[in-house]
C-alpha cells in the first residue's frame, strides 16, 4: 500500500475505538485518536496521539515527521508491553518475534463493509509465536494471532486491528483486543 495518510490535512483527526477483553478482568474500552499537526512538503506529517484514557492511557510521544499511519505500531507497542507485564518477559523478545512474523505474513484480498458499502481491502495476518522454541516460558501466547485490515478507501488506510489469544478447545478467547476505525473529524480551531 502507498502512504496511508495521503490526503489528510493539518487538523485531521482519525478516531478509533479500542476494546480489551480477557478471562481475568472485566475488560475495558476507550478511544484512540491520531491528529495531524502538520503536513510537510515531502508528504511526511507531524502527528499527535491520544491513546486511551485513565489507567489505560499510554503516553506516546508526538512525531514531527512521519510517513504513513503509525496506528499499527502503537497497537503493537501497547500489546507487547502488556504481554511483557503479564509474563515477566522481555518486550524486546516479543518485538523480535512479531517482526520476524511479518517477513512471511498471510495476505488475502477482502471486502470491507465501510460507510454502507463494500470496499476492497487487504487482510494481513501473523501468528508470531507458533513454533517458537521458547514457547514454554509463555504458553498462553502460543497461538496468538494478529489480523490487520487495510483499505485505501478508509481515511488513514487502517480499518481494523484484531489480536486474539484463542481459548482451549473452542472456548472463549483468553485475550481479545480490537482497534477499529470510527470516523475522520477535524481538531477544534482548524
Q: What is the pLDDT along the chain (190 residues), one digit of tens a residue?
A: 567 888 899 999 999 999 999 887 788 999 999 999 999 999 899 999 999 988 899 999 999 999 999 999 999 999 999 899 888 888 999 999 999 999 999 999 999 999 999 999 999 999 999 988 888 888 888 999 999 999 999 999 999 999 999 887 777 888 899 999 999 998 764 4
Q: Cell digits for 188?
A: 477544534
Pairing relationship of beta strands 63-66 and 158-165 according to DSSP bridges: unpaired
- Could you give the CA distance from residue 23 to residue 117 in angstroms, rounded to a whole number? 35
pLDDT at 189: 47
pLDDT at 8: 94
How far is CA 152 from each of CA 6, 125, 161, rounded to the nearest angstrom? Answer: 10, 18, 15
Sign of dihedral through CA atoms 133, 94, 161, 64?
Answer: negative
Q: Where are the domains of the chain?
A: 12-186
- Could you give the CA distance from residue 127 to residue 148 in angstroms, rounded to a whole number? 12
- Could you give the CA distance from residue 136 to residue 100 in angstroms, rounded to a whole number? 19
Report how far Cα 92 is from the mean position of its chain's Cα atoms.
Answer: 18
Q: What is the DSSP letter of 72?
A: H
Q: Across the strands, what pairs with 126?
A: 146
Report how far Cα 150 is from the mean position of its chain's Cα atoms.
Answer: 11
- Segments of 55-190 assigned E as strands: 63-66, 106-114, 117-126, 145-150, 158-165, 175-186
pLDDT at 165: 92
pTM as predicted: 0.92
- Could you give the CA distance from residue 174 to residue 163 in angstroms, rounded to a whole number? 11
pLDDT at 20: 92
Are the C-beta atoms of 20 and 28 separated by less than 8 Å? Answer: yes
Amino acid at each position: 500500500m502507498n502512504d496511508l495518510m495521503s490526503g489528510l490535512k493539518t487538523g485531521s483527526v482519525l478516531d478509533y475505538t479500542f476494546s480489551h477483553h480477557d478471562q481475568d478482568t472485566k475488560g475495558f474500552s476507550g478511544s484512540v485518536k491520531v491528529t495531524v499537526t502538520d503536513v510537510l512538503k515531502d508528504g511526511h506529517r507531524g502527528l499527535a496521539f491520544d491513546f486511551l484514557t485513565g489507567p489505560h492511557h499510554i503516553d506516546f510521544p508526538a512525531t514531527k515527521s512521519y510517513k504513513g499511519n503509525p496506528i499499527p505500531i502503537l497497537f503493537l507497542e501497547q500489546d507487547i508491553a502488556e504481554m511483557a507485564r503479564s509474563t515477566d518477559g522481555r518486550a524486546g523478545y516479543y518485538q523480535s518475534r512479531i517482526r520476524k512474523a511479518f517477513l512471511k505474513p498471510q495476505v488475502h484480498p477482502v471486502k470491507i463493509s465501510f460507510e454502507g458499502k463494500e470496499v476492497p481491502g487487504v487482510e494481513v495476518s501473523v501468528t508470531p509465536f507458533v513454533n517458537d522454541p521458547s514457547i514454554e516460558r509463555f504458553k498462553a501466547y502460543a497461538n496468538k494471532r494478529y489480523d490487520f485490515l487495510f483499505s485505501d478507501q478508509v481515511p488513514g488506510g487502517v480499518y481494523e486491528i484484531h489480536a486474539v489469544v484463542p481459548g482451549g478447545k473452542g472456548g472463549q478467547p483468553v485475550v481479545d483486543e480490537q482497534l477499529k476505525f470510527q470516523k475522520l473529524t477535524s481538531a477544534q480551531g482548524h
